[in-house]
Amino acid sequence: MTPFRLGLTGSIGMGKSTTAAMFAAEGVPVWDADATVHRLYAAGGAAAQALGRAFPQAMDATGAVSRPALRRLIAADLGVLDRVNAIVHPLVAADRAAFLAAQTADIVLLDLPLLYETGAEAACDAVAVVSAPAEDQRARVLARGTMSEAEFAAILARQMPDADKRARADYVIDTRTLDSALAAVKDVLQDIRRRIAAAHA
């Protein structure tokens, strides 16, 4: 049986990683787009090898992709981003397909930060969006200490607004507290299992 593919997305600082871990704790296999890219960019990874041939100046001494160097190349020439995407996106899609082909679970979670921005909802049977008030989001991101206000604003500008994501989603997971998020995760899984049972009745 093909598993039910639930897409999980949400803007930066909305609690997506924490929520994905809650689904995993409920026994749902999780495919993580960010983790996949990190693996592909590591020394010896398929993307590192391909990008090394296309952009040798974007590599570090170990043979891994240097994200800062790659960002500088993209900032200097917007055409670089299209070439990078043309190399990386098929590799990510192949990894996702291999993950799905190996599954025996009734539900799987596809953790995709830019799900709507890349049109990946077409690969999902339903989409859940994590959401919290804007002031909570900002406080969480800045508390990490890894990003300035300007960098946070730049990332937000590239992401679909939270309100638009919530309007398009099948499920909205309130992440203001861990308890509210976990309750929503359990509700989502209960509803999906109801849908699966109805489809096979």
pLDDT in tens, 1-46: 789 999 999 999 999 999 999 999 999 999 999 999 999 999 999 9
Number of domain units in the chain:
2
**pTM listed for this prediction:** 0.88
Same domain, 191 and 111: yes
The structure tokens listed for 68 are: 């800062």
Query: Per-residue confidence at 148, pLDDT binned at 50, 70, 90?
Result: confident
Angle made by CA atoms 83, 47, 86, in degrees to the nearest 5: 25
Q: What is the pLDDT of residue 152?
A: 87
Last residue of a domain, one of 86, 102, 118: 102
* Chain centroid offset of residue 69 CA: 22
What is the average per-residue pLDDT within 89-110?
A: 94
Same domain, 48 and 131: no
CA distance 93 to 115: 13
Residue 9's CB is within 10 A of a number of other CB atoms, namely: 28
* Mean pLDDT over each residue of the chain, to the nearest integer: 93
Residue 200's CB is within 10 A of a number of other CB atoms, namely: 7
Residue 174, class by beta-carbon neighbours within 10 Å (0-12 exposed, 13-18 middle, 19+ buried)? middle
For the domain that residue 179 is a member of, what is the CATH number? 3.40.50.300
* Chain centroid offset of residue 176 CA: 20
Task: Please give the residue range of the domain that contains residue 139.
Answer: 1-29+107-201
Q: Determine the straight-line distance between the first and last CA of the chain, rounded to whole angstroms.
A: 14
Q: What is the pLDDT of residue 136?
A: 93
Last residue of a domain, one of 102, 137, 155: 102
Last residue of a domain, one of 102, 118, 148: 102
Instruction: Write out pLDDT tens, residues 177-198.
Output: 999 999 999 999 999 999 999 9
Same domain, 80 and 124: no
